[in-house]
Chains A and B, each alone.
Chain A
Amino acid sequence: MKVAASIFVLTGASLMVIAGVGLLRLPDVFSRMHAQTKAATLGLACILTGTALSLPGPAVAKVVLALVFQLITAPVAAHMIGRAAYRAGVTMWEGTLYDELGSHGRAAEEAPGPRE
């Protein structure tokens, strides 16, 4: 196994652990989503890159395809969950400074905002 592949795999694994720690320790849904989405997307991308570097021949194409699809779809999915959670009225952390969806803009008429 090449050195570059090992470095990619270890970086991705540490990012996944960081995502797990953030998911456990952060105070509300949106900050947990911030930790999970960014760290886990980049972590999985690094792991798949390391896998593609250490595999021979035509198997690399599947890994690269999965990697590209993951990079496209993971932010979209997280955005949908975040929007659904906001519209469902999830309680925000009490230290939240800005609620850009609630105060003004088009979403103010559509979404009732956090309830509690």
Chain B
Amino acid sequence: MIAVDVGLVALGVSFLAGVTRAAIGPSTADRAVAADLCLFSVVGALALLAVRLDAVAFLDTVLVATIVGFIATVSLAYLIERRIK
């Protein structure tokens, strides 16, 4: 369980790094990459919380967040590309 706690703290650090880059990032692509990292951190934290709290229902959230995150990233890429034309 100590490994899970350490992993949760590390994922929090990673999430904060993503939020910082999304705040200061000069371009929209920076913010999209930072949002991707934030999503990865949240998915990892959900998986670890499923182990930590012994709540198997969190795994459905992990699966759905993975799929929705892919669609969100693809639509962000279209947004970046279309803004210039």
Does B bind A? yes
Shortest A57–chain B CB gap in Å is 9
| Interface contact A87-B81, CB-CB below 8 Å | yes
Q: Which residues of A contact B41 (CB under 8 A)?
A: 16
Interface size of B in residues (CB-CB distance below 8 Å): 51
Q: Which A positions have Cβ atoms within 8 angstroms of B? A: 1, 5-7, 9-10, 12-14, 16-17, 19-21, 23-24, 29, 32-33, 36-37, 40-41, 43-44, 47-48, 50-51, 54-55, 59, 62-63, 65-66, 69-70, 73-74, 76-78, 80-85, 87-91
Interchain nearest-CB distance for A19 vs B (Å): 6
Asked whether A83 and B40 contact (CB < 8 A) given A9-B48, A62-B60, the answer is: no
- Could you tell me which B residues sit within 8 Å of A by CB distance? 1-4, 6-7, 10-11, 13-18, 20-21, 27-30, 32-34, 36-37, 40-41, 43-44, 47-48, 50-51, 56, 59-60, 62-63, 66-67, 69-70, 73-74, 76-78, 80-81, 83-84
Q: Determine the main DSSP class of A at the interface with B.
A: helix
- The answer to whether A59 touches B73 (Cβ under 8 A) is no
Residue of A nearest to B64 (CB): A66
Q: Using A10-B3, A32-B33 as known contacts, say yes or no to A84 and B10 having CB atoms under 8 A apart.
A: no
